[in-house]
Structures are given as C-alpha cells and as structure tokens.
Structure 1
Amino acid sequence: MRFTLRRRKRVADAVGDLPRARTSPEQLGHAGVEIQSFRGWHIAPNRVQDLTARYATPWNQHAAPGENSAAETANVLRAWQRSGTLVPDREPAMYVYQQTGPRGAQRGLLTAAHLDSRILPHETVRPERVEGITNLMRIGRCNLDPLLLGYSGGRRTTVTLSAVVREQRPIVDVLASDGQRHGLWRLDDRAAQLEIASELRSLSAFLADGHHRRLAARQYRRELYAAGYGPGPWDSVSALLVDVRQSPLTLGPVHRVLPYVDSRTALSRAARWFHVAQLTGPITHWVRALHESVPYGPAYLVVTPREVFLLTEPDPALREAALGHVAGPLRSMHATILDNAVMRSLWDVDDAEVDYEPSATRAVRQVREQGGVAVLLAAPGQTEIHRASSAGLQLPHRTAAFGPKPHPAMLLRTIER
C-alpha cells in the first residue's frame, strides 16, 4: 500500500543577467502591509473570453514535479508574451479586482506586497511543494496566483476601490465557466495609491490562501541575495488584499484523495476503531449525513470506486495514541484527527501521497475514475481556527479553504527590472 515518490531534483538558480549587488535582505519587520504598484500582464482583449472563461493559464500548473514541467510552463508563458496573448500595461499601477457569482462576491486591491509585511499565516506547508513553486519562479521569473490576504479596517481604501468600480470601465470583464463574473480595473492615480499605501501600512493581514507561494517567494529572494543581487522586485509578491468587513471570506473544507490506498484494506482497518455505516443515494445525501454527524464528534465520508461509508465515533484510545504529540487546541480538530489517527496511524499514508481537493464532486470523480480512496470532511469552525491562532499555532496542511479565490488568469506579475 506504500508508494515512494522519487526525490524531486533541485534546479540550478537561473538568475541570468539581473544586476548584482553585495547586500543581504533587510528584515524590515513592517508594522503592517507594505505595498507598491507594478506593471501587470493581462490577457489580450481578443482572447479574454476564450481563455479566462475556462481558467486556462500556462502558469497555474506549478504543482507538477520536476524541472521539465517548470521549464515547459515557463516556455508557454514566454510564448504567450511574444505572441501578444499576454499584453503588458504601459505604466505600473495598482488594480481593483472584483468577482460575483454563485461562489461568492469579493472586491479587493491587487498589488505587490512586500515579503516582510505583517502577514499572519495559519497553516503548515509541504516543503516539496514550496520547492516546486520556487523552481518555477527561478525559471519563469514570475509570481503565480496572487496571495489572498484578509484585513479589517481600511475605510479609505474601501471608498477608493468602490469609486474606481463605479466610475471607470474595467480593462477585463469576463464570465467564467463556473458562473463567476470577474472584473479588473486600473488604479493609476498616484495620490490615491499613496493614500491606500499609508492606510495599509498600519494594518496587518491574515494569509487566507497562498502559504506555499509566499514561502517560495521568500526562498527565491534568499537565493538571489545569496548570489549577490540587491533589492529588487523579488522583495515583493503579488497579492489580493480584501477588507473582510466589506467582503467576508468563506470557509470551506479541503478533502483528501489517496490514489495509492487499497480501499478494502483501508475500510478493514478503520472498522476496528470507528463506527462504519454504508450510505447510498446521491452525494448530497452523503454530505447531509456528514454534517448531521459532525456536532457529535469527528465524522468522515470514505469514498471508494463503488461505495461510500460514514465513519463516526472514533475509539478514544486511537486518538490518544496518535495525537500525543499534537498541541491542545489542535487535538479536537477533525482534520488533525484524520491526518494523524487515520491516514498516518491506520493507513500508513505519507504526506506526499495525498492530493488535496476543495471540491467534493471532483474528489469523488477522481476516485471513481482512477481508483484509490477519497475522504470527505467538514470545514472547521471559525472558533476553532481563532483558538489555534490565538495560541500561536498553525493548522495542519490544507485544513480549510478560504475563498472565493481570485481568478488565476486576470493579471500576471513578472519578477524582472
């Protein structure tokens, strides 16, 4: 049942002809979020509906391992730039981004945030994924999807963003395949930029999405400074800053897909420690049963290629044995129990063998088509996350998904002078 992944090869630093300097990064320890404008690349107007409507981008395949994958992605990106599929703005700007639709509404500032800003992470990361994204940054010299940052209290910023949307025409306006409408506006008024920057400089931000991308950007910066390069665009990362008082973030679950686990063995082992009940009917019935069970304790849906089972009432002895090393506020979280007591202790699954999928439908489809096991779970509560954060703890990897996430094709930030 074990499956060993080959160690991913580290790629040589491809910094090319960037200007050199004998300096090291200054850890500024910003009290808030430090932002600046940048010259963005966006999809040409004649290609917008075709490409952004279906979330097709050459740079969002960064999860694939290996140097070849990163090189191919970077080559496609450069080809889009040469062909005019991606067009650059003439001057640096900040941008207003808005989306509305069935996944939720959101309006925020799309900008470059300094890596030493006061950005508060909430979950752990997988080192191999950080390395994979860093590798793509080395070769492609670009940021990937923007970080999703939540902040509270930016009244002047909110007023300015609203005025831009009300008074200007968007440079991109597209209806995506999932029913979400996405718009992008330029904010190039220098006085407004300075006012917003001043306000955000006094506020901290919660890192809702992008933990791996942020650490990859920091790693890439360290490599450049170690190689003799001074301050530059690599000191910042693209980010969407959202005032959560105006656009509250949603909180959803992140399901686990275990493609190399034998379903019979997994269920046999789980039955020794959980109450197991087989379910029938459509996925909506399964999810309803899951949420009805969650208030009474840990509950999970185990989906095999042909069947689905509800796991509840875990044996306290299993939890005690598997969670002895886990800090108190995390011990009751269902994702912590699943990762430690079930996947590691019962099923002997390594982190590198797990695929994470926010969509229950896609997780089930993957198992039905390719085999293995999917484990569906409920999202943690805001109280649980706040309790862990207040104790200075980070949640297990991919415990929850904050959203709605920004469209990956709306704007690209390159890391070049």
Structure 2
Amino acid sequence: MDATALVTPPYVAGPLRLEPFPALMLTPARVGNPSTGRAFARPYKDVSARLLRWQARGLVRADTEPALYLHEYSANGMTVRGLVGALDVSRRAAGPEERAVLPHEGIHPAQADELADRMEEMQLNPAPILLVHQGTPRLRALLGEVTSREPDHAFADRGGQEHRIWAERSPDTLAAIAGELASSRALIADGHHRYAAYLRLQRRGIGHPAGPRPTDLGLAMLVDQQDTPLFLGPIHRTLSGTSLADLRDAADTLGLEYAEQAQADAVHALSAARLAATDGERWAVIGLGIGADEAAVEVLHRRIVPALPHGPAAIAYHHTVDDALGGARADAIAVLMPAPSVDLVLRVAEADRLLPEKATSFQPKPSLGVLIRSLRDAASDPT
C-alpha cells in the first residue's frame, strides 16, 4: 500500500457510550504551558513514570473514583462545553445504520500505527478526541443540572484558556446521560488519527486478553453543536508549481467559470460555491457549479487539481489568509477556501464520503493536560 494513501478508519457501532474513568489532571501552571508537550515526548515508555514524579511534586492530580467530566473552556470570546469520558470502541459497525461515530477525513495508516505505539508505550490517552453531535433537550437539561452547582475545578491556564470542570458520579444521573446518548451519532471534529489509533489498540488488546480491557475505550470529548458550538473555519491552500494560467486552463477544461478580478472583489466573491486564487499580483474567482451536498474542497482536490496542466508539486495548508498569501508567487498560487458548514460535513459523512485531507478546522480546542486517561489500571474502566 502507498504510505501516502488515505484510508477510511473503521466505523464504531452504536449505541454511543461514554464511560466514566478516573482522570489525571495537570496543575493549572502546567496546562497550556508550551513545555507541557515535552512531558509526552520520547522516550514514550518513560511518560507514565514522569507523570508519577509530577504527581509526587503536586503537579498532577489523580482522581481515585471514575466520573464523567463536564468540561467547559473559554478562549477568544468563545465558550465550549462537552462531556469527557471513555468512548466505547469495542464494536464495529456492520452497516451504515449501525454507525455511532462518523469520520469525515481519511487517515494515513502509518501515522495511526505510530500514535497507537505511542499510547501503548505511554499507557495513556493524553488528550481527548473532539466529537460533535446534536444533544437532546433532556440531555441539555441534565447537564444544566450539573452546571447549576459549583464546579469541582475552576482555573485559568498558562495559555489563557479558562476552565470549569464538574465530575459527575451519581449513578442515576450517569444512567440518564447514558440513555440520552445511546441513539446519538457523533461526528469527529478533531482527532481522526487518534481515533484510528484507539481502534488499533482495541484490536491489539494489550495486557488484558480476556474480559473488559482498558483499550476497549478511548478518551473523547462530546460537544453539543446546538448548545455551545465549535467554530468551523477554513483551511486555505498554496499550490506550488502551479500558475493562474494553469488554473484557468483547468477551469476551461471542466467548464467552470473563471474570471480575473480586483483583490477586493475576488475576496468578496468567496463563498460556498466560489474560490478565490492569487499569484500575489493577479486575482481570480472560480465558480464551482456545485450542488447542496458537495463541498468546495471536494471540487478543488477531486476535479480541479487533476485537471491542472502543471503541478501542483506540493500543497501547503494554512489556517489564516495572511499565511496563505505569504506563499503566493508566479509559480505558486494561494487558493482561499470557504469553510464548509457543520451540516454539510455531517451530510458528507453520513453519505459514506470522506472530505480531502485538511478540509476542516474546528476551534477552539482545549489545552493539553486538562483531562488525561491512564491505561494502566483495568479497574479504571467499568466492568
């Protein structure tokens, strides 16, 4: 298999289950600290021991009882709230109707294998993958009751995020939450490769050949997109080895609208059905002629790029317009992309299609180190 090829990760079967677990939490001074990432770096087999040393120094708090955690964080004027628990990945969907978790991007198998190896060596899920869904009114009411009490933890981290965390352990509340989640279907917002790594670890069944296994679960945060939505932003492209003339020829070949315009007009024309492109001097607008269930990024990568007479020799990805424009020149064009809507991404995933790589940017993501899950103790997961 081509090491650069993208493949679809397996689908987890419903019911959607988030199980309680006993969290590890870094001290606020360590959360959002740029140096914290080094604590999870090579040698990975030493990470657990490193965290134990930190715990002895009061830099890590370890819960002794499992809980579902309601984590609320605020950054750049946005507040996101989600349930953090151990996602059950032990069952595979036999058909589309059984799917509980929907990926929308493909994964590189080698990268997923490497992440699984890291987690196996660390014996940790160091950060939750981000899932979004549409919660039921009853679930929102249940979580509203949780947030009506004082949080168990409240702090601002070194990166500027503000956090509030509630640990929910009431059997009645946990059962009610489980009932509301059972029929949900969640879209992966961030963490496709970590999700695939969870599935690899589950198949390996490390350390526990029989019975409930820590690797049957993987750390996840489930956000109600109707309640405290994540922002879905665009990811722009720079196509090296390609010119605006190449882009015009591709548009002509495909019967797409191509028109050179002033910069202000081209940027203003950017929409779900139009791209804007520049070589740093001239600007063009490409009309995509797409339907309601097709994303602009699909047209670019699956129709326009294959039709280019030259290049691209490489594609670079940028989260800001300024970064994209910084790479524009005569032989490298910047392509400004619209952000797809969450509803469109969900329709694509439900139709069993994958968007091209780097198609979505869900923001803001929580800082590293707020909630960590250990794989060392099988008793940390429900029996």
Interval containing the TM-score (normalised by the shorter chain): 0.7 to 0.9
Instruction: Give the root-mean-square deviation of aligned CA atoms.
Output: 3.9
User: Which runs of structure 2 are paired with 1:332-411 in the superposition (5 Å)?
Assistant: 332-343=294-305, 345-346=307-308, 348-349=311-312, 354=315, 356-361=317-322, 367=327, 375-382=335-342, 384-411=344-371
SS at match of 1:313: strand
Query: Structure 1 residue 361: deviation in Å?
Result: 4.6
Structure 1 residues 269 and 406: CA distance shift in structure 2, 3 A = same
Question: Would you say the 8 A contact 2:72–2:80 is kept in 1?
Answer: yes
- Contact residue 305 and residue 312 of structure 2 kept, 8 A: yes
Match for 2:167 among 186, 193, 204?
186
Per-residue CA deviations over 1:155-199 (Å, capped at 9, x if unaligned) read 34323333333322342421564x542222222333322221232
Q: How does 1:53-202 map to 2 (within 5 A)?
A: 53-54=32-33, 57-58=36-37, 71-72=42-43, 75=46, 78-84=49-55, 85-102=59-76, 104-115=78-89, 116=91, 118-175=100-157, 177=159, 180-202=161-183
1:302 Cα deviation (Å)?
4.6
Deviations 1:247-269 (A, max 9, x none): 233322123356xx35xx54553
Specify whether residues 234 and 379 from structure 1 end up closer, same or farther in structure 2 by C-alpha distance, changes over 3 A only.
Answer: same
Equivalent residue number for residue 275 of structure 2: 299
Question: Cα 1:337–1:57, aligned 2, differ >3 Å: closer, same or farther?
Answer: farther
Q: C-alpha separation between the residues in 1 aligned to 2:86 and 2:345?
A: 27
- Report SS of the residue matched to 2:232: strand
- Cα deviation digits, residues 328-361 of structure 1 (max 9, x gap): 987x5321232234555535458xx655443445
Q: 1:221 to 1:349 in 2, by over 3 A?
A: farther
More divergent stretch after superposition (79-88 vs 231-240): 79-88
Which deviates the most, 180-189 or 340-349?
340-349
Instruction: Name the aligned partner's letter for residue 395 of structure 1.
Output: L
The Cα of 1:95 is off from its aligned counterpart by 0.8
| Structure 1 position 81, deviation (Å) | 3.5
Which residue does 2:380 correspond to in 1? none
Tell me if the contact between 2:236 and 2:335 (Cα under 8 Å) persists in the aligned partners: yes
Distance 2:374 2:38 in 1: 11
Amino acid of the structure 2 residue aligned with 1:83: W
| Runs of 4+ displaced beyond 6 Å | none
Task: Give the deviation of 1:382 after TM superposition.
Answer: 4.6
Alpha-carbon offset, residue 153 of structure 1:
3.7
Query: 1:37 offset after TM fit, Å?
Result: 0.9
User: Structure 1: which 5+ residue stretches go unaligned?
Assistant: 1-5, 9-26, 62-69, 320-327
Is the Cα–Cα contact under 8 Å of residues 66 and 169 in structure 2 kept in the other structure? yes
Q: Deviations over 1:115-137 (max 9, x none)?
A: 13721223322333323322322
In 2: Cα distance, 1:28 partner to 1:397 partner: 21
Distance 1:378 1:144, change over 3 A: farther
Normalised to the residue count of structure 2, the TM-score between the two structures is: 0.75
SS in 1 for 2:199: helix
Q: Which secondary structure state, in structure 1, belongs to the residue aligned with residue 132 of structure 2? A: strand
> How has the CA–CA distance of structure 1 residues 226 and 110 changed in structure 2, closer, same or farther, with 3 Å as cutoff?
closer
Structure 2 SS opposite 1:134: helix
Change (3 A) 1:310 1:146: farther
Q: 2:319 corresponds to which letter in structure 1?
A: P
Give distance in 1, aligned partners of 2:43 and 2:281: 39
Question: Which of the two has greater strand per residue?
Answer: 2
Separation of aligned partners in 2, 1:232 and 1:125? 25
Give yes or no for contact 2:22–2:66 (8 Å, CA) kept in 1.
Answer: yes
Separation of aligned partners in 1, 2:366 and 2:282: 34
Q: 1:363 to 1:386 in 2, by over 3 A?
A: same
Q: Counterpart amino acid of 1:131?
A: D
Deviation (angstroms), 1:38: 0.9
The count of corresponding residues between Structure 1 and Structure 2 is 350
Unaligned runs of 5+ in 2: 5-10, 92-98, 252-257, 378-383
Aligned residue number for residue 238 of structure 1: 219
Q: Is the 8 A contact 1:291 1:378 kept in 2?
A: no
1:36 aligns to 2:19 (yes or no): yes
The percent of aligned pairs where both chains have the same amino acid is 25
Q: State the TM-score, normalizing by the size of structure 1.
A: 0.69
Q: Quick check: 2:103–2:188 contact (8 Å CA) kept in 1?
A: yes
Which residue of 258, 263, 270 maps to 2:247? 270
Deviation at 1:411, TM superposition (A): 0.9
**In 1, Cα distance between equivalents of 2:216 and 2:288:** 49
> In 1, are the aligned partners of 2:79 and 2:228 still within 8 Å (CA)?
yes
Cα distance in structure 2, aligned partners of 1:278 and 1:134: 48
1:19 match: none
Residues 48 and 124 in structure 2, CA contact (< 8 A), matched pair in contact too: no
